[in-house]
């Protein structure tokens, strides 16, 4: 999704900002066309060549942004933005409260198009076995990023088991929302994630 941190600047610094915005627009355009094709004809039936044609970009441009077709589904800017938001939460919040607030903060500023793209990508991962398998690696990387942020916030070692357990619990709560998307592709994913983290924050009452 496009960066929300670009700002107008003057002088020599203006050019890099413009280049970054152009890159973001190109990446979003490729991903948007790819997701449309995935919806219309299926993930496996859609080729990289078809995505390139639909997005009207060169093969070189496509692979500059997405090394594989799989990366078109998984790549976004949310993880680093959520980590940044987590690090800026008030110190009095517990780690789970800070995670929940950070995710809510980032979801709240998504445009309708960005929300739809997130829902489309997540729904596709749920129904495609190959993507579900590939998701495990991405989840592991996200958990480690989150654990590092929690450790820094708590002043504990990065490899601390308690820290990684908290991070893993938060990731697990978010994963628990995926079956709901399988049942209803139009479900409100941000609301489901917030609800799942709310259960975790409350101590998992059942």
DSSP, residue by residue, 97-164: HHHHHHHHHHHHT--HHHHHHHHHHHHHHHH-HHHHHHHHHHHHHHHHHHHHHHHHHHT--TT-HHHH
Q: Residue 4: count other Cβ atoms within 10 Å of its Cβ.
A: 14
* 128-153: pLDDT as tens digits: 988 988 888 889 999 999 999 999 99
- Return the pLDDT at 100: 97
- Return the pLDDT at 16: 52
Q: Which domains does the chain have, with CATH numbers?
A: 11-68 (1.10.10.60), 76-201 (1.10.357.10)
Q: Residues near 87 by Cβ (< 8 Å), separated by ≥ 6?
A: 149, 152, 153
Maximum distance among all Cα pairs of the chain, rounded to whole angstroms: 59
Distance CA 18, CA 120 (A): 28
Residue 73's nearest CA partner among 130, 150, 125, 14 is 125
* 130 token code pair: 């190959």
Distance CA 79, CA 76 (A): 8
* 11 token code pair: 């002088």
Supply the pTM of this predicted model. Answer: 0.82
Asked if residues 179 and 163 have their Cβ atoms less than 8 Å apart, the reply is no
Residue 1's nearest CA partner among 140, 121, 180 is 121
148: burial class by Cβ within 10 Å (0-12, 13-18, 19+)? middle
- Return the pLDDT at 13: 36
- Return the pLDDT at 202: 95
Q: Which residues of the chain have pLDDT under 70?
A: 1-16
| Cα 159 off chain centre by | 24
């Amino acid at each position: 999704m496009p960066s929300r941190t670009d700002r107008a600047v003057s002088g020599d610094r203006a050019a890099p900002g413009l280049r970054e915005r152009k890159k973001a627009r190109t990446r979003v355009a490729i991903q948007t066309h790819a997701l449309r094709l995935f919806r219309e004809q299926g993930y496996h039936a859609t080729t990289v060549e078809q995505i390139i044609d639909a997005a009207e970009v060169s093969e070189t441009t496509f692979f500059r942004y997405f090394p594989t077709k799989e990366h078109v589904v998984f790549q976004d800017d949310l993880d680093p933005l959520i980590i940044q938001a987590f690090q800026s939460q008030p110190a009095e919040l517990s780690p789970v409260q800070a995670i929940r607030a950070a995710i809510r903060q980032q979801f709240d500023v998504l445009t309708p198009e960005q929300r739809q793209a997130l829902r489309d990508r997540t729904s596709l991962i749920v129904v495609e076995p190959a993507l579900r398998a590939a998701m495990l690696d991405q989840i592991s990387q996200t958990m480690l990023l989150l654990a590092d942020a929690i450790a820094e916030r708590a002043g504990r070692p990065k490899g601390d088991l308690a820290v990684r357990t908290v991070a893993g619990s938060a990731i697990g709560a978010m994963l628990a929302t995926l079956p709901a998307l399988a049942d209803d592709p139009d479900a409100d994913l941000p609301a489901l994630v917030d609800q799942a983290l709310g259960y975790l924050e409350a101590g998992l009452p059942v």
